[in-house]
Structure 1
Amino acid sequence: MKMNWGTGLAIWLVLFIAFILYFVIRISTEDKYDYDLVTEEYYQKEMIFQQEFDAEENSNSLDGKITGKRTTTGWMLTFPKHIDYTKIKGTVFLYRPSNKKLDFEIPLELKSKNLLIPDQRLIAGRWNTIIKWSYEGEDYLFKEKIVY
């Protein structure tokens, strides 16, 4: 059988499509390639968007901001100096975009202006930090992306 350039091109094209399909099927079926880039309760979160927006505006209007920095023992969050930390109630949610199994939430029970997130809870990579807190009847929201 004589093979011309058209036959060779058709064979190459079929092999290339099979190659691409192999990787698409492999990535979509294996658990180690599972990436959770959205939250489970997407529509419920959309309903409270305005409340979160207002809380974030309240945070931006504060004199001081919440700051975070890496220490030898973990990630240290520091609240503004002019706020009485004993009146703060809320939660700190750490969201891992690449693996929802690593997400966790810590209640805000401050004994000082600092909150330490222990090194054992954080593995290397990107984390989204969401701090929802209330102070004297006002709701606040602080979001920060960190690379640990």
Structure 2
Amino acid sequence: MEKNAKAAIVEKIWDLTTPVASEFGLDIVDIEYLQDGGYWYVRVYIEKPDAEITLVDCANVSNRIEEDVDALIDKKFFLEVSSPGIERPLKSEKDFIRFVGEKARLILKHKLEDSRNWTGEISSFENGIIYLSTDGKKLEIPFSEVKKANLVFEFGDL
């Protein structure tokens, strides 16, 4: 399937899912539409701003969106609704603001100081700039340069 067609389907799923999630006090973190092995998947990642996601939360969203998502896609697929996990992706500027003080891994579109891969603490986020403290350095990374980012879990955090 063409990349633009997949992106259009994901956008429609966002539009369908966002109000449903809001009804249950949930936020959408990410939506994926992809082929894994011989099967197609729609994966919807949800979270509660200040609480743990339960199986009931996942079932509620899944049950409410299943028919509408099925109507968008003309091939067989599996719908999965789940928590994004402890190493959740950071997709929006809002995510970087919310997780100031947390450790994150960033992959950049272009090299910064000879590397595209950086891990450190998000010191702050202001005017489209991520301030990342890593190895005694303070980096200023434009949000527009982030290709992929996620939180980093360390076992000492338990």
Range into which the TM-score falls when normalised by the shorter chain: under 0.3
TM-score of the pair, normalised by structure 1: 0.25
- Greater fraction of residues in helix: 1
Structure showing greater radius of gyration is 1
Higher relative contact order (CA 8 A, sep 6+): 1
Superposition TM-score, scaled by structure 2 size = 0.24
Hey, which of these two has a bigger chunk of strand by percent? 2
